[in-house]
């Protein structure tokens, strides 16, 4: 069945129907029955600083992971990460939420500043000759921050039709901000955050990725919720399928809060509003499998693999 421009084919109780948003025609289909399931993809990482977001990338055929204070390399033979701080050489301070991406054949790293009340970004470019990161302020041109704006240094960078875009979290404002790369600076582009700012929660951590030639976005938040979206070509549309299997972070937060309240001899009633799970997802395709690694408020990492169940 073919749909009109701006519509997406969705599954309903009575069959398939064309619709333009999540409120019409049921949920957005991805692959029938597919979901995220736990995977041993975090072995070797140990515990890192709290609320850190990992970034995973493949450079010259090797898989690397960078967190706030450490670098790692994936070992296929042992199926675990091994410390390799050569991959963070040249970075004065990796920062809370590093993001590595390849733009037009060059590797860049963007990370949030750690200075008090300075919520801008630091930029770096990989020097393939010296095998280190060189400071590159041009790649963060336009990405400013302040105390008034909130500490909003979680960001995802991605490409659509040869144009580069960014979406950053605005921590305490329950919103996301879109940008487009002009060739010399990032310019706010609210077409890129259309459909996102509706109940996504505080301390948003976005992650954009491609699967089956479609662009998806998973957003984590402080409460342990995952929100999923699919790019329609003009706006983001909610997709519960792309976050299926990830709901247990909320339950983990409730359990941790309850245990802490009992340990401190406090009332058994748990204040849900104060739960701090703080998930920070990163999605990557390794050896044909789609993985997700997320940090949390305590500095632990959790891994998932997208389990595809083909429709019969």
Q: Tell me: the pLDDT tens digits for 143-183?
A: 876 554 445 678 999 999 999 999 988 655 667 889 999 99
- Whether the predicted pLDDT of 304 surpasses 70: yes
Among 63-72, 124-133, 216-225, 253-262, the least confident range: 253-262
Residues 44 and 165 in one domain: yes
Q: What is the pLDDT of residue 247?
A: 63
- Residue 16 pLDDT level (bands cut at 50, 70, 90): low
Residues 7 and 137 in one domain: no
Residues 144 and 22 in one domain: no
- 240 in any annotated domain: yes
Residues 175 and 267 in one domain: yes
- Average pLDDT, stretch 44-64? 88
Q: What is the pLDDT of residue 134?
A: 97
Quote the longest CA-to-CA distance of the chain: 61
User: Where residue 241 sits, what CATH number does that domain have?
Assistant: 2.115.10.20
Residues 19 and 135 in one domain: no
Residues 160 and 24 in one domain: no
Residues 40 and 7 in one domain: no
Residues 36 and 26 in one domain: no
Compute the distance between CA of residue 93 and CA of residue 11 in angstroms, rounded to an integer. Answer: 47
- 220 in any annotated domain: yes
Look at the chain and report how many structural domains it folds into: 2
Q: What is the pLDDT of residue 114?
A: 59
- 246 in any annotated domain: yes
Residues 136 and 207 in one domain: yes
- Whether the predicted pLDDT of 286 surpasses 80: yes
Long-range interactions of 156-164: CB distance < 8 A, separation 24+: 156/99, 156/206, 156/207, 156/208, 156/217, 157/99, 157/101, 157/103, 157/110, 157/208, 158/101, 158/208, 158/209, 158/210, 158/215, 159/103, 160/215, 160/231, 164/103
Reduce the DSSP state of residue 32 to 3 states and report it.
coil
- Top-confidence range, 89-93, 118-122, 167-171, 302-306: 302-306
Compute the distance between CA of residue 131 and CA of residue 266 in angstroms, rounded to an integer. Answer: 52
Among 180-184, 188-192, 240-244, 272-276, the least confident range: 272-276
Residues 250 and 297 in one domain: yes
Beta carbons of 17 and 295 less than 8 angstroms apart = no
Name which residue leads in pLDDT, 12 or 28. Answer: 12
Q: What is the pLDDT of residue 9?
A: 58
Name which residue leads in pLDDT, 158 or 33. Answer: 158
Residues 8 and 89 in one domain: no
- Residue 74 pLDDT level (bands cut at 50, 70, 90): very high
Q: What is the pLDDT of residue 142?
A: 93
- Whether the predicted pLDDT of 21 surpasses 60: no
Place of tokens 């058994």: 268
Name which residue leads in pLDDT, 24 or 278. Answer: 278
Binning the chain into helix, strand and coil, the percentages to the nearest 5 are 10, 40, 50
Q: What is the pLDDT of residue 26?
A: 42
Name which residue leads in pLDDT, 36 or 279. Answer: 36
Q: What is the pLDDT of residue 66?
A: 94
Domain containing residue 195: 31-307
- Whether the predicted pLDDT of 268 surpasses 50: no
Output the six-digit token pair for 98: 């590093």
- 76 in any annotated domain: yes
Name which residue leads in pLDDT, 43 or 94. Answer: 43
Beta carbons of 39 and 304 less than 8 angstroms apart = yes
- 312 in any annotated domain: no
Residues 84 and 194 in one domain: yes
């Amino acid at each position: 069945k073919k749909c009109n421009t701006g519509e997406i084919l969705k599954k309903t109780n009575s069959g398939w129907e064309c619709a333009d948003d999540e409120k019409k025609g049921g949920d957005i289909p991805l692959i029938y029955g597919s979901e995220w399931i736990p995977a041993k993809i975090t072995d070797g990482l140990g515990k890192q600083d709290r609320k850190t977001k990992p970034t995973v990338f493949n450079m010259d055929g090797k898989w690397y992971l960078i967190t706030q204070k450490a670098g790692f390399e994936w070992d296929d033979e042992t199926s675990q990460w091994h410390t390799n701080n050569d991959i963070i050489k040249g970075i004065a301070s990796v920062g809370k939420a590093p993001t590595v991406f390849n733009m037009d054949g060059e590797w860049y790293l963007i990370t949030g500043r750690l200075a008090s009340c300075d919520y801008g970004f630091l930029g770096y470019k990989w020097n393939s000759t010296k095998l280190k990161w060189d400071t590159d302020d041009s790649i963060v041109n336009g990405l400013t921050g302040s105390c008034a704006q909130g500490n909003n240094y979680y960001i995802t960078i991605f490409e659509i039709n040869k144009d580069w875009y960014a979406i950053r979290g605005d921590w305490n404002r329950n919103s996301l901000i879109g940008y487009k790369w002009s060739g010399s600076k990032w310019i706010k582009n609210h077409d890129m955050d259309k459909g996102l700012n509706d109940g996504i929660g505080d301390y948003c951590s976005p992650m954009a990725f491609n699967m089956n030639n479609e662009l998806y976005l998973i957003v984590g938040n402080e409460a342990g919720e995952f929100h999923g979206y699919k790019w329609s070509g003009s706006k983001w549309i909610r997709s519960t399928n792309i976050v299926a299997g990830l709901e247990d972070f909320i339950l983990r937060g409730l359990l941790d809060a309850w245990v802490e309240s009992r340990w401190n001899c406090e009332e058994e009633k748990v204040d849900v509003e104060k739960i701090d799970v703080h998930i920070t997802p990163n999605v990557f395709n390794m050896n044909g499998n789609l993985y997700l690694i997320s940090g949390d408020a305590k500095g632990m990492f959790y891994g998932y693999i997208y389990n595809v169940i083909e429709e019969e």
